[in-house]
Chains A and B, each alone.
Chain A
Amino acid sequence: MNALKKRSALLFESGETSSRYSSVVIDLEELIDDSPVREPKSFAAREKIHFLLEEIDQVFADSQEGNADNYGAKAGNINSFRNIREFIRLIPESLLELTPTVLLEPDGSFALDWEHENADISFAVSFGSNNDELFFAGLFSNGAKQSGVEIFNRFWFPESISKNILRVIKGR
């Protein structure tokens, strides 16, 4: 959330702000729950979650003018933004051994990507723009592949997703 506020302040100072952007910031302040993560976690895990949330906020703020990829990417989608933040807060501590990369797709959806040090083993989850769908795909050892769709209910972490993140952590 800090990144959004900083970005907002900069835009106001520079006089670049638009009513569209201002309203987005106000909406997000109402949407975002900044209370502590849902389950007890170690200090290191909370630090990682904090880092990821800051990164998501920064990607969202940077995307608001659109065209983040210079191919016409849409601005970060609010529904996808909200779901990725909720998802991060639900990640079990055992899965935080490997920090995912935050990515923004051309349609404005956010995604998380876990990559083993052998970059050919990886797994990604994309957060739908219009609903609570999670689209996932992974490439694993020996040419194994997995892809599918899950529904994110915001209360527990999907098992199919955690299994695949573990495969990346273990390099299998």
Chain B
Amino acid sequence: MNFSLVSDQEGLSRFLFHNKDFKESSGKIQWNRLMPMRGKKFNRLETSIFRTSTLKQDKEIWELGDDFAGLQRKPPKAIAVLQAEQIRNKQKLDVIPETSTHPLHAVIVNWPEAKDRQIEICKELKKEAKLRVR
């Protein structure tokens, strides 16, 4: 794995902490949980995500979420899994490493400023994301 570059084939996981963040019956996440926030360091819109392709066992993924995902230590309830290529296919979005909190941490960047476009992208990503419930 190249730590300085996220390859198109890499699997990326967005940790979800509440039952209402996803619908187990339909296997879909809620689009609002992919919406970006403005990061303080670079003043850009970002969505936090983890590079989990190298983690072969589910236990490793959930432990990563337990210890490093989110602002407060909480056990994640589920993950939304996307390939980097699926994200890069949406307008100008990109995935880049952001390792200040963990070597496997990355962020989705290059979000459009227009809110309606952000929602449209999140809905498209929701369609493609694979839900895995803990």
Hey, which bits of chain A sit against chain B, CB under 8 A? 67-73, 101, 103-107, 109, 111, 113, 119-120, 122, 124, 126, 128, 135-139, 145, 147-149
Number of A-B contacts (CB under 8 A): 79
Main secondary structure of the interface of A (DSSP, over half): strand
B79 shortest CB reach to chain A, Å: 13
With beta carbons under 8 angstroms apart, the residue of A70, A120, A124 that contacts B119 is: A124
Bound form: Cα–Cα A149–B119 in Å: 12
Task: Pick from A73, A136, A137, A148 the residue with the most CB of B within 10 Å.
Answer: A137
Are B116 and A67 closer than 8 Å at their CB atoms?
Answer: no
Are A139 and B119 closer than 8 Å at their CB atoms?
Answer: no
Hey, which bits of chain B sit against chain A, CB under 8 A? 17-18, 21, 23, 26, 28, 30-33, 35-37, 48, 69-72, 74, 114-117, 119-120, 123-124, 127
Are A124 and B31 closer than 8 Å at their CB atoms?
Answer: yes
Given contacts A105-B32, A106-B37, contact A69 B117 (CB under 8 A): no
Give the residues in chain B near A69, CB-CB below 8 Å: 17-18, 21, 32-33
Bound form: Cα–Cα A124–B127 in Å: 14
Give the residues in chain B near A126, CB-CB below 8 Å: 115-116, 119
Given contacts A67-B72, A69-B17, A70-B72, contact A137 B35 (CB under 8 A): no
Give the residues in chain A near B31, CB-CB below 8 Å: 103, 113, 124
Given contacts A69-B33, A105-B35, A106-B37, contact A147 B71 (CB under 8 A): no
Across the two chains, which residue of chain A brings its CB closest to B37?
A: A106
B46 shortest CB reach to chain A, Å: 10
Give the residues in chain A near B36, CB-CB below 8 Å: 106
A111 shortest CB reach to chain B, Å: 6
Give the residues in chain B near A135, CB-CB below 8 Å: 114-116, 119
Give the residues in chain A near B69, CB-CB below 8 Å: 70
Across the two chains, which residue of chain B brings its CB closest to A109?
A: B115
Bound form: Cα–Cα A30–B33 in Å: 31
Are A137 and B117 closer than 8 Å at their CB atoms?
Answer: yes
Q: Supply 4 further A-B pairs (C-beta < 8 A) apart from A103-B30, A104-B32, A147-B120.
A: A70-B71, A113-B31, A135-B116, A149-B114
Across the two chains, which residue of chain B brings its CB closest to A66?
A: B71
Give the residues in chain A near B18, CB-CB below 8 Å: 68-70
